[in-house]
Amino acid sequence: MLPAATHDPSRRRLRAGIVGGGRGAFIGSVHRLAAELDGQALVVAGAMSSDPANARASAAAWFLERSYDSYEEMARSEAADANGIDFVIVATPNHLHFPVARAFLTEDIHVVCDKPLAASLADGEELAHLVSGGTALFALTHNYTGYPLVREARELVRAGRLGEIRKVTVEYAQDWLMEPLEARGNKQAAWRTDPHRAGPGGSVGDIGTHAANLLEFVTGRRIESVCADLTAFVAGRRLDDDASMLIRLEGGAKGTLVCSQIACGEENQLSLRVYGSKAGLEWRQQEPNTLILKPAGKPWELLRTGHAYLGAAARAASRTPPGHPEGYLEAFANLYRSFIADVRRVAQGQAPARDYPGIEEGLRGLRFVTQAVASSRAGSVWMRI
């Protein structure tokens, strides 16, 4: 027999809590599943809804050990409990990211926060201040960076395989908001199209930030300036549901960034192409296990998840042999895997590796949204980020 559960985090699954994610919220389940996927953590406590009955029912459905009616109570109580949670997951609408994260950071509890970082740049900056001044870890779930071949793409760029980066194209196209769902009782649509809860960007904040983050992650270059044309195609909508942008990157690359939630027939068509002086590359989220490398004057190569010919980062991010497709949940779980490893490191007095998106990426995302909105309002003028 093994010893019973222990306080030593290196000898047990970590204990996680969750705020938000009550029944009906898609992303809550994703966080639980991703956090637990590798058998390194269990969600044991939650304040899953602002509605107490829903909070309790949601917690019971997940077999949580502890359910709270408010996140403030949860933060205090868990911090005081020797067997309290090791980290908290923030899966609320955007405007609550800040106060919830603050409550737990204040108690020195590590935080995994959904994106975007906050509903305003001011809130985000205050959060950044808190994080930099404290000891708790902070991760932001720009989950698309968790795909093995996204990491391979970054390695290829870093290794110089593409040469000088010249041209980029990144896009995130959906259609789920092509009808005025917010006027038909859809809660997910309601808060995402409400400036008070979502922030100044609609599609730009919800998915444009993913596109921008993916581009910067892979190229290792920051978006320097944007020239944007934002639109609300659905009548009466208060935030953009579509955006077309010209972008310029540090170092001279140029291109376009498109995000749309009214692109009829598209599911989650996040795609990236990068063209350099030696090779191009292409990746599509809906077929995530293939990365196309396009070397000058040679046949395209199809790099596939799981192969020994991939770099270390991609190999480490994969759980199955080649040809057994991995998807969205596994990519999401890769962020948790890195974060959990950091929580263990910190518990053992080691320095964290911080190889997952964090506060800095969150701030960049908020500035991206702010400047894209400003550019569009000014008639599509170049704005620096």
Report, in Å, the least distance between residue 267 CB and a copy of itself.
2
* Residue 259 binds a copy of itself, judged by CB under 8 A: no
Give 19's contacts (C-beta < 8 A, 6+ positions apart): 46, 47, 48, 71, 74, 88, 89, 90, 91, 92, 96, 100
Report, in Å, the least distance between residue 358 CB and a copy of itself.
23
Q: How far apart are the first and last CA of the chain?
A: 58
3-state secondary structure of 200: coil
Subset of residues 7 to 46 that bind a copy of itself, contact rule: CB under 8 A: 11-13, 26, 29-30, 32-33, 36-39, 42-43
Q: How far is the C-alpha of 291 from the C-alpha of 285, rounded, in Å?
A: 10
Query: Closest CB to a copy of itself among 51 and 287?
Result: 287
Report, in Å, the least distance between residue 86 CB and a copy of itself.
14
Q: Give the residue, chosen from 158, 166, 344, 354, that forms a contact with a copy of itself under the rule CB under 8 A.
A: 166
Subset of residues 218 to 247 that bind a copy of itself, contact rule: CB under 8 A: 227, 229, 231, 233, 242, 244-246
Q: How far is the C-alpha of 283 from the C-alpha of 221, rounded, in Å?
A: 17
Report, in Å, the least distance between residue 266 CB and a copy of itself.
7
Report, in Å, the least distance between residue 291 CB and a copy of itself.
9
Residue count, binding to a copy of itself (CB under 8 A): 101
User: CA Rg, the chain, in Å?
Assistant: 21
Scanning the structure block, which residue is given the tokens 């991609």? 314
Tokens of 67: 């359910």
3-state secondary structure of 256: strand
Subset of residues 64 to 103 that bind a copy of itself, contact rule: CB under 8 A: 64-67
Instruction: Report the 10 Å Cβ neighbour count for 31.
Output: 25
CB 7 within 8 A of CB 84: no
Contact code string over 362-381 relative to a copy of itself, x by CB under 8 A = -----------------xxx
3-state secondary structure of 66: strand
Q: Give the residue, chosen from 219, 285, 338, 370, that forms a contact with a copy of itself under the rule CB under 8 A.
A: 285
Q: Give the residue, chosen from 69, 99, 176, 222, that forms a contact with a copy of itself under the rule CB under 8 A.
A: 176
Which region, judged by CB under 8 A, interacts with a copy of itself, from 99-107, 133-141, 196-204, 282-290?
Answer: 282-290
Which region, judged by CB under 8 A, interacts with a copy of itself, from 55-63, 192-200, 206-214, 344-352?
Answer: 55-63
Compute the residue count for the chain: 385
Q: How far is the C-alpha of 95 from the C-alpha of 149, rounded, in Å?
A: 32
Q: Give the residue, chosen from 167, 197, 315, 354, that forms a contact with a copy of itself under the rule CB under 8 A.
A: 167
